Amino acid sequence: MVEPASIQFGFPDIQVSIADYIATVEIQRPPLNHFDHSLIQQIADAFDALDDTAECRVIVLASSGRVFCAGANFGTGQDDGSGSQDFTEQGFQNTTGKLYQEATRLFKNKKPIVGAIQGAAIGGGLGLSLVPDFRIASPAARFSANFVKLGLHQGFGVTVTLPRLIGAQAANTMLYTGRRVSGMQALELGLVDLLVDAEDLRRSAIDFAREIAENAPLAVMSVRATMRQGLAEAVSEATLHELKEQQWLRATEDSYEGIKAVAERRPGNFIGH
């Protein structure tokens, strides 16, 4: 048995620990665990470090609180330190483009990942939930590709990862409607591999990871590399297109209305401009 260990690299928003060849990477930005460039970079750095750590054979990606990840911060421009944001095309390109470069890194790690999804995984949070090889969820989990409700195109490589997992037509339904998918519906779609009670979620994710970790680690990584061959490259290419579409849509009146409507929990009054 590997003694419990902690790897500390100065991550401000995630905690990394290892026990019995299983590393847990926990996002700690409650209550909604919104991400930005910094958080995605921290996760990618942790994955890279764990690839070089013999005591880790499998990673469990989890988050604190009731929500897995409610998506990206909408401060998508450059922060000048005054609290204001630059929502110009250049500002959007700078921040979102760099974020997607880090997001692509998440698909390049070598070791299997099991996601523990306890609550909402919305928008970019859905994209983050699609990084793991497997997803264990509670009935309270909610998945939504709500980009069209924001007046935007999908991002985070969802163009590739969602249809790869649940099929093109089911992905189209989620992307065109922006509807929320419950934990049970996600299980039926194949978006989730196992549904367990909330109090059993973390243990079940670790148990699932342990079943993988018991096998020959080099063989597991070899099989994984084959099964995910070309995925990181496809995500990288997809994010370039996603960014271009998001960039021009972000400047439309519908996008401003969509973001406001979602924040106010109401349907958007879209005009097609």
Encode pLDDT of 193-206 as tens digits.
999 999 999 999 99
pLDDT in the model for residue 93: 56
pLDDT over 60 at 90, yes or no:
no
Distance CA 74, CA 14 (A): 20
Q: What is the pLDDT of residues 140-174, one digit of tens each?
A: 999 999 999 999 999 999 999 999 999 999 999 99
Six-digit token string for 97: 């483009």
In contact, 133 and 78? CB cutoff 8 Å: no
pLDDT over 90 at 258, yes or no:
yes
pLDDT over 80 at 256, yes or no:
yes
Q: What is the pLDDT of residues 207-244, one digit of tens each?
A: 999 999 999 999 999 999 999 999 999 999 999 999 99
How large is the greatest C-alpha to C-alpha distance in the chain, in angstroms? 61
pLDDT in the model for residue 96: 87
Q: Across the chain, how many H-helices and E-strands are there? A: 10, 10
Higher pLDDT, 98 or 7: 98
In contact, 161 and 235? CB cutoff 8 Å: yes
State the average pLDDT for the chain: 90
Within a 13 Å sphere around the CA of 43, how many CA atoms are in the beta-carbon half? 32
pLDDT in the model for residue 4: 47
pLDDT over 60 at 111, yes or no:
yes
- Reported as a pLDDT band with limits 50, 70 and 90, residue 8 is low
* Residue 201: φ, ψ to 5°: -60, -55
pLDDT in the model for residue 92: 55
| CATH code 3.20.20.140 for 5-202+213-263 | no
Six-digit token string for 12: 């401000």
Paired sense of beta strands 120-122 and 142-144, if any? parallel
Q: What is the pLDDT of residues 36-54, one digit of tens each?
A: 999 999 999 999 999 999 9
Q: What is the pLDDT of residues 170-189, one digit of tens each?
A: 999 999 999 999 999 999 99
pLDDT in the model for residue 85: 35
Quote the pTM value: 0.91
- Reported as a pLDDT band with limits 50, 70 and 90, residue 86 is very low
Strands (E), 106-261: 113-117, 120-122, 134-137, 142-144, 180-182, 194-195
pLDDT in the model for residue 73: 78
C-alpha 74 chain-centroid distance: 16
pLDDT over 70 at 75, yes or no:
no
Domain ranges of the chain: 5-202+213-263
Of all residues in the chain, the percent with pLDDT exceeding 90 is: 85
pLDDT in the model for residue 66: 94
